[in-house]
């Protein structure tokens, strides 16, 4: 069939849509009541007899060079490939994945975008003038599928997500055009439909003018990436539904349901609201196709994320039934405190992007469900839908399982800051000519989600688009329609005041403490509820110091909490199981592994960050109040502590407690701890939610701690030698050497080892050199003195080896000679061959550093060497175990043991040396070269310097001090083998 290409709407600034139907609430009608009630929120769009899901394998033709698609094209003679719909081109071999954070992938010249010319010179403050590689164009993809339409109905096609824009054609005719990637676009196909084999053709452009408003930090994918639904409607049908409500002073609610029929219908409309003792039903006749139905004096159970009570709303006309669940909630802001249903709430949140390692933006509803269930499992109560609307299913599921939502509009103009003259972040937000584009996005945001607003606790205007009259116009628009407060981080620093909740990203704990005290220099933070739309950047090893934030969140009522950045790493999975990130796909500009910043790996396996979060977001917080008392803080707002059971264990003795603590209260419980003594004594607690038997937290309270060894002096054992000043212990056919460097002062830089976002601090230490200055070799004792230089610092290290009954007592003292700043680590590194694979240690059971330790407990642990490091997509320092009392490495025949003397140590066990690790970029670079053991006096904390505060001073160690590390090395033969 022949088609004439539509005019270049995608590059026409004055056109954001052609023949697109007005936005309406997301809902799925059925022809019968039974059908509507018989489906569920996940399956209804696939089950409905009024909807045909057009997902499947479509014909696809990809044009690298858009000029290759002629103005008139013939679908009968075109060469077609096959492509799954929904999907993203770049994840299916069309173009390459491209990861960019804050830049446009084209020259900044709004509203102009590349059309038919190649992308050439490209300016940004990050890379100045970069040439795009050859063949970079505003690529386009042509899609085709066929469907039948045998009934005499109205056919509306509904695209739930297409990037960047879509031209729709049917049976040789142009139907319409739409932009805004994450928003539903609907078109009426009826006038061009035929009973059989309708040819639906869509053209998707890589970029449109709207791309200036979609500069989000993510892989920049394209395609029809969400479900395509063909709605088979009656000539008169339910067009739109809104559900509004108000709470009166007496606590009763009035619900108003607004229904609009298409075709100016006069059919009687039945509306019912039922559940939890409410039975309301009204049949009414619309006027001009509209009706507003009111149910008064409703005595409802309000919805909250802890107890998500929903009511059944059914709206019907004789041949169309829409069943949806709705909740009631009441939001009030008083004296800068946010109240939900008259209770203070804390946001324990995450930022959620749509990301799949095999499908880019495309997530199945099962995958969305998996993410939301993970949130519940990890004690998250809020999702910010960064930085666009999610599939509507996410909102419906959140209202059912209980998660608060900060619903964000599809808006980010970040490239204005990185590419405009003089970093003008506000460039587009201030340009009046863009106002209709901004407001249109807000109208559609609200329009689609208004019926699904139950879990929404804030509207968000968007992300990082600066601020100006356009964001203000969005704010004013939504304020006229909704009582739900608005957050927009970009507005906070400007004068527009386009926000109800003050919002910030990545401030320090010290800064938000000032806000808590209402003494922030940024006055706007003090007079409204305040929250962190992003904090605790979870890139690589980390995030450090999450507990610091939690302390402040709980201390101050005006601080609502925040959403960790972000839930899941973005990366591309390959058949061999490897992952790639920015720069690995031939990108001419990219932001490297900045996309690997999630609490969960792309396959949704938890990283340590997820465990840190789970513990930090725990519902019940336990602390010792006195020797025989614990204080329990119930951090929930609507749930009694009685809904949990705590199973305690101390010195082998077990007992349980049902902690009757009211929401948001603390209470002291007396407990029988038995004999504590003066040795290591820990009270271990496992907290279960009784209803689900879910383990919500594991906590450990340290009652007493003592590491005391009384080594008996002997001559140095025969197996001990000094080779070139380094200790070597030879035992039978195995030996333990030192690694390089032996006195280790650095770590392989983590992503968070950055200062002010840019300066990598750790590599400067990699030049470490150690030179022996003095050696004393005696029968019972050897002493080696060295000078260690690194990062322009000079230290003296004195190592003493003393003979013991069955081992060697090592004392290493480091003294500053000429130093400045902080010392990342002080440890001793050893090497065994890789047959030593069995690890037993008594220390923290999870990866832990001084500022990320509370999620772990001291326990006896068994592990293999490979499991002692984390699977960060970009290898880096990981796997430290704090508070280690002893560690044993065995190859089945021989066991080497490192034992603390008076103070526990930090244990590092890796299959490669720390120096080798510094050179690795991907997991495939990991080559096992031995078994490496590092016994450290300390290692600095992790912080969140990749995009936030670097390691705090209190989690760092001054270089100008003397430090002493002591441990015993012993060895034994395994008699059984
Ligand atoms: C924020 C931004 C996020 C993400 C994050 C860093 O500034 O809003 O989209 O880029 O930084 O990972």
Q: Which of 350, 384, 947 to mutate to test the pocket of ligand 1 (most atoms within 8 A of CB)?
A: 947
Q: Considering only CA atoms, which residue is closest to atom 9 of ligand 1?
A: 217
Q: Report helix angle 392-401 to 365-377, nearest 10.
A: 40
Statement: residue 496 has pLDDT above 80: no
Show Cβ contacts of residue 52 under 8 Å, excluding neighbours closer than 6 positions: 147, 229, 230, 232
DSSP string for 521-547? SSGGGTSS-EEEEEES---SS----HH
CB atoms within 10 A of CB 845: 18
Q: Report helix angle 435-449 to 469-479, nearest 10.
A: 30
Place of tokens 């809902």: 27
Q: Which of 99, 100, 101, 751 to mutate to test the pocket of ligand 1 (most atoms within 8 A of CB)?
A: 101
Which of 62-71, 404-413, 546-555, 751-760 has the weakest average pLDDT?
751-760
Q: How far is CA 649 from the centre of its chain?
A: 34
Determine the pLDDT at residue 977.
46
Which of 85-99, 498-512, 664-678, 957-971 has the weakest average pLDDT?
664-678
Question: From ligand 1's centre to the CA of 368, what distance in Å?
Answer: 21
Tokens of 81: 């490939």
In this prediction, residue 827 has a pLDDT band, given cuts at 50, 70 and 90, of very high
Task: Read off the pTM.
Answer: 0.97
Determine the pLDDT at residue 72.
97
Show Cβ contacts of residue 335 under 8 Å, excluding neighbours closer than 6 positions: 558
Q: Which of 534, 564, 591, 596 to mutate to test the pocket of ligand 1 (most atoms within 8 A of CB)?
A: 534
Question: From ligand 1's centre to the CA of 604, what distance in Å?
Answer: 20
pLDDT, tens digit (0-9, with 9 covering 90-100), for 18-32? 999 999 999 999 999
Mean pLDDT of 576-582: 97
Which of 581-595, 668-682, 845-859, 942-956 has the weakest average pLDDT?
668-682
Instruction: Report yes or no: 952 and 545 within 8 Å, Cβ to Cβ.
Output: yes
Determine the pLDDT at residue 763.
93
Query: What is d(CA 927, CA 566) in angstroms, rounded to the nearest whole number?
Result: 30
Atom of ligand 1 nearest to the CA of 216: 9
Query: What is d(CA 336, CA 523) in angstroms, rounded to the nearest whole number?
Result: 12
Statement: residue 627 has pLDDT above 90: no
Atom of ligand 1 nearest to the CA of 101: 10
Question: From ligand 1's centre to the CA of 881, what distance in Å?
Answer: 30
Atom of ligand 1 nearest to the CA of 566: 12
Q: Considering only CA atoms, which residue is closest to atom 10 of ligand 1?
A: 217
DSSP string for 929-972? --EEEEEEEEE---TTTTSS----GGGS-BTTS-EEEEEEEEEE
In this prediction, residue 708 has a pLDDT band, given cuts at 50, 70 and 90, of confident
Query: What is d(CA 621, CA 601) in angstroms, rounded to the nearest whole number?
Result: 27
Q: Helix, strand or coil for residue 62?
A: strand
Query: What is d(CA 562, CA 554) in angstroms, rounded to the nearest whole number?
Result: 12
Statement: residue 809 has pLDDT above 70: yes
Statement: residue 356 has pLDDT above 90: yes
Q: Which of 349, 503, 564, 565 to mutate to test the pocket of ligand 1 (most atoms within 8 A of CB)?
A: 565
Mean pLDDT of 559-585: 97
Question: From ligand 1's centre to the CA of 750, what distance in Å?
Answer: 18
| Phi, psi values for residue 873, rounded to 5° | -60, -40
Statement: residue 732 has pLDDT above 90: no
Mean pLDDT of 203-212: 98
Q: Considering only CA atoms, which residue is closest to atom 2 of ligand 1?
A: 217
Q: What percentage of the chain carries pLDDT values higher than 90?
A: 91
pLDDT, tens digit (0-9, with 9 covering 90-100), for 406-444? 999 999 999 999 888 778 999 999 999 999 999 999 999
Helix and strand numbers (H, E) in the chain are: 11, 65
Query: What is d(CA 584, CA 586) in angstroms, rounded to the nearest whole number?
Result: 6
Statement: residue 682 has pLDDT above 90: yes
Question: From ligand 1's centre to the CA of 533, what distance in Å?
Answer: 10
Q: Considering only CA atoms, which residue is closest to atom 11 of ligand 1?
A: 947
DSSP string for 593-661? GGG---SB-TTS-B-HHHHHHHHHT-SEEEEEEETTEEEEEE--SS--GGGEEEEEEETTEEEEE----
Determine the pLDDT at residue 758.
65
Statement: residue 494 has pLDDT above 80: no
Radius of gyration of the chain, Cα coordinates, nearest whole angstrom:
31
Higher pLDDT residue, 422 or 202? 202
In this prediction, residue 756 has a pLDDT band, given cuts at 50, 70 and 90, of low
Statement: residue 465 has pLDDT above 70: yes
DSSP string for 210-237? GGGGB--SEE---EE-S-EEEEEE-SS-
Query: What is d(CA 917, CA 607) in angstroms, rounded to the nearest whole number?
Result: 19
Q: Considering only CA atoms, which residue is closest to atom 6 of ligand 1?
A: 947
Statement: residue 624 has pLDDT above 70: yes
Question: From ligand 1's centre to the CA of 547, what distance in Å?
Answer: 21
Mean pLDDT of 281-304: 97
Query: What is d(CA 418, CA 425) in angstroms, rounded to the nearest whole number?
Result: 8
Mean pLDDT of 592-598: 96
Statement: residue 286 has pLDDT above 70: yes
Closest by alpha carbon to 423, among 208, 213, 126? 126
Instruction: Report yes or no: 35 and 316 within 8 Å, Cβ to Cβ.
Output: no
In this prediction, residue 130 has a pLDDT band, given cuts at 50, 70 and 90, of confident
Domains and CATH numbers, the chain: 2-233 (2.60.120.260), 238-318 (2.60.40.10), 345-616 (3.20.20.80), 620-704 (2.60.40.10), 728-764+820-973 (2.70.98.10)
Mean pLDDT of 288-303: 97
Atom of ligand 1 nearest to the CA of 594: 12
* Alpha-carbon distances, residue 271 vs 241, 449, 585 (angstroms): 11, 20, 54
pLDDT, tens digit (0-9, with 9 covering 90-100), for 374-395? 999 999 999 999 999 999 999 9
What are residue 707's DSSP bridge partners?
none
Show Cβ contacts of residue 869 under 8 Å, excluding neighbours closer than 6 positions: 875, 878, 879, 909, 910, 911
Strand order in the sheet with 185-188: 51-53, 228-233, 154-159, 185-188
Tokens of 235: 């000539």
Question: From ligand 1's centre to the CA of 417, what distance in Å?
Answer: 13
Atom of ligand 1 nearest to the CA of 464: 8
Instruction: Report yes or no: 865 and 911 within 8 Å, Cβ to Cβ.
Output: yes
Q: Which residues form the pocket of ligand 1, taking CB atoms under 6 Å from any ligand atom? A: 101, 217, 387, 463-464, 505, 534, 537, 565, 594, 597, 947
Q: Considering only CA atoms, which residue is closest to atom 4 of ligand 1?
A: 217
pLDDT, tens digit (0-9, with 9 covering 90-100), for 238-284? 999 999 999 999 999 999 999 999 988 899 999 999 999 999 999 99
Mean pLDDT of 850-862: 98
Mean pLDDT of 174-198: 97
* Mean pLDDT for all residues in the chain: 96
Q: What percentage of the chain carries pLDDT values higher than 70?
A: 99
Determine the pLDDT at residue 976.
56
Question: From ligand 1's centre to the CA of 217, what distance in Å?
Answer: 6
CB atoms within 10 A of CB 325: 18
Determine the pLDDT at residue 492.
84
Question: From ligand 1's centre to the CA of 598, what distance in Å?
Answer: 12
């Amino acid at each position: 069939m022949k088609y004439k290409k539509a005019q270049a709407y995608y590059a026409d600034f004055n056109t954001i849509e052609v023949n697109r139907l007005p936005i309406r609430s997301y809902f799925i009608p059925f022809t019968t009541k039974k059908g509507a009630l018989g489906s569920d929120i996940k399956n209804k769009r696939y089950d409905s007899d009024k909807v045909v899901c057009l997902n499947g394998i479509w014909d696809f033709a990809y044009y690298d060079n858009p000029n290759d698609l002629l103005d008139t094209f013939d679908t009968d003679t075109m060469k077609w490939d096959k492509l799954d719909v929904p999907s993203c081109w770049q994840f299916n071999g069309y173009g390459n994945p491209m990861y960019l954070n804050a830049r446009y992938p084209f020259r900044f010249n709004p509203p102009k975008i590349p059309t038919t010319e190649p992308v050439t010179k490209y300016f940004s403050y990050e890379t100045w003038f970069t040439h795009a590689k050859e063949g970079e164009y505003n690529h386009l993809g042509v899609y085709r599928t066929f469907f039948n339409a045998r009934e005499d109905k109205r056919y509306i096609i509904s695209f739930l997500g297409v990037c960047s824009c879509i031209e729709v054609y049917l049976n040789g005719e142009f139907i319409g055009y739409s932009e805004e990637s994450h928003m539903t676009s609907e078109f009426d196909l009826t006038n061009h439909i035929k009973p059989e084999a309708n040819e639906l053709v869509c053209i998707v452009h890589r970029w449109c003018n709207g791309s200036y408003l979609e500069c989000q930090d993510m892989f920049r994918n394209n395609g029809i990436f969400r479900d395509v639904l063909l709605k088979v409607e009656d000539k008169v049908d339910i067009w739109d539904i809104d559900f509004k409500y108000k709470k009166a002073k007496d606590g009763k609610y009035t619900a108003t349901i607004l229904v609009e029929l298409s075709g100016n219908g006069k059919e009687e409309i039945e509306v019912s609201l039922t559940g939890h003792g409410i039975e309301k039903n009204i049949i009414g006749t619309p006027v001009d196709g509209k009706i507003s139905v009111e149910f008064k004096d409703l005595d409802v159970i309000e919805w909250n994320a802890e107890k998500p009570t929903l009511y059944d709303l059914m709206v019907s006309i004789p041949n169309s039934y829409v069943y949806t669940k709705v909740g009631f909630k009441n939001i009030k802001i008083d004296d800068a405190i946010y109240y939900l249903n008259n209770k203070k709430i804390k946001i324990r949140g995450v930022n959620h992007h749509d990301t799949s390692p095999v499908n880019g933006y495309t997530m199945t509803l099962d995958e969305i469900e998996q993410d939301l269930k993970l949130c519940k499992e990890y004690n998250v109560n809020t999702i910010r839908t960064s930085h666009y609307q999610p599939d509507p299913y996410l909102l419906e599921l959140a209202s059912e399982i209980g998660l608060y939502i900060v619903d964000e509009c599809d808006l980010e103009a970040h490239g204005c800051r990185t590419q405009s003259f003089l970093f003008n972040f506000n460039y587009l937000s201030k340009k009046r000519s863009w106002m209709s584009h901004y407001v249109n996005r807000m109208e559609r945001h609200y329009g689609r989600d208004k019926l699904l607003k139950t879990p929404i606790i804030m509207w968000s205007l968007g992300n990082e688009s600066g601020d100006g009259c356009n964001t203000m116009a969005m704010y004013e628009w939504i304020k006229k329609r909704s009582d739900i407060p608005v957050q927009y981080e970009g507005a906070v620093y400007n004068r527009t005041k386009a926000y109800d909740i003050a919002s910030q990203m990545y401030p320090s704990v010290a800064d938000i403490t000032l806000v808590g005290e209402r003494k922030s220099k940024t006055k706007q933070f003090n007079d409204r509820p305040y929250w962190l739309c992003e904090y605790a950047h979870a890139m690589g090893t980390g995030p450090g110091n999450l507990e610091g934030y939690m302390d402040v969140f709980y201390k101050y009522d005006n601080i609502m909490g925040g959403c960790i950045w972000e839930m899941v790493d973005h990366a591309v999975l390959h058949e061999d199981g490897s992952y790639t990130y920015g720069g690995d796909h031939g990108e001419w500009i990219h932001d490297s592994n900045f996309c690997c910043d999630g609490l969960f790996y792309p396959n949704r396996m938890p990283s340590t960050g997820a465990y840190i979060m789970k513990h930090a977001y725990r519902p019940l917080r336990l602390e010792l109040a006195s020797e025989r008392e614990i204080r329990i803080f119930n951090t929930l707002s609507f749930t009694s502590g009685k809904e949990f059971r705590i199973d305690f264990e101390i010195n082998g003795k077990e007992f349980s407690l049902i902690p009757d603590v009211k929401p948001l209260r603390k209470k002291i419980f007396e407990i029988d701890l038995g004999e504590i003594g003066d040795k290591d004594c820990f009270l271990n607690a496992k907290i279960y939610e009784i209803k689900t038997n879910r383990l919500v937290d594991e906590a450990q309270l340290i009652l007493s701690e003592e590491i005391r060894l009384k080594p008996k002096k002997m001559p140095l054992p025969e197996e001990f030698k000094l080779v070139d000043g380094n200790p070597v212990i030879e035992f039978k056919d195995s030996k333990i050497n030192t690694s390089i460097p032996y006195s280790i002062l650095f770590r392989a830089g983590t992503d968070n080892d950055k200062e002010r976002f840019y300066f990598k601090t750790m590599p400067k230490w990699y030049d470490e050199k150690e030179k022996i200055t003095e050696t004393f070799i005696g029968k019972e004792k050897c002493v080696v003195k060295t000078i260690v230089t690194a990062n322009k610092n000079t230290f003296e290290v004195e190592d003493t080896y003393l003979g013991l009954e069955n081992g060697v007592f090592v004392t290493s003292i480091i003294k500053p000679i000429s130093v400045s700043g902080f010392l990342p680590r002080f440890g001793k590194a050893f090497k065994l061959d890789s047959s030593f694979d069995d690890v037993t240690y008594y220390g923290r059971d999870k990866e832990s550093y001084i500022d990320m330790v509370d999620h772990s407990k001291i326990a006896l642990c068994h592990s293999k060497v490979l499991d002692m490091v984390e699977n960060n997509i970009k290898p880096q320092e990981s796997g430290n175990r704090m508070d280690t009392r002893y560690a044993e490495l065995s190859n089945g025949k021989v066991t080497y043991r490192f034992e603390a003397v008076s103070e526990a140590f930090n244990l590092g066990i890796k299959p490669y040396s720390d120096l080798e690790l510094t050179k690795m970029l991907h997991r495939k670079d990991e080559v096992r070269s031995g078994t490496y053991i590092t016994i450290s006096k300390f290692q600095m904390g992790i912080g969140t310097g990749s995009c936030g505060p670097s390691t705090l001073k209190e989690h760092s160690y001054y270089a100008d001090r003397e430090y002493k590390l002591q441990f015993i090395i012993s060895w034994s033969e395994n008699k059984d083998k």
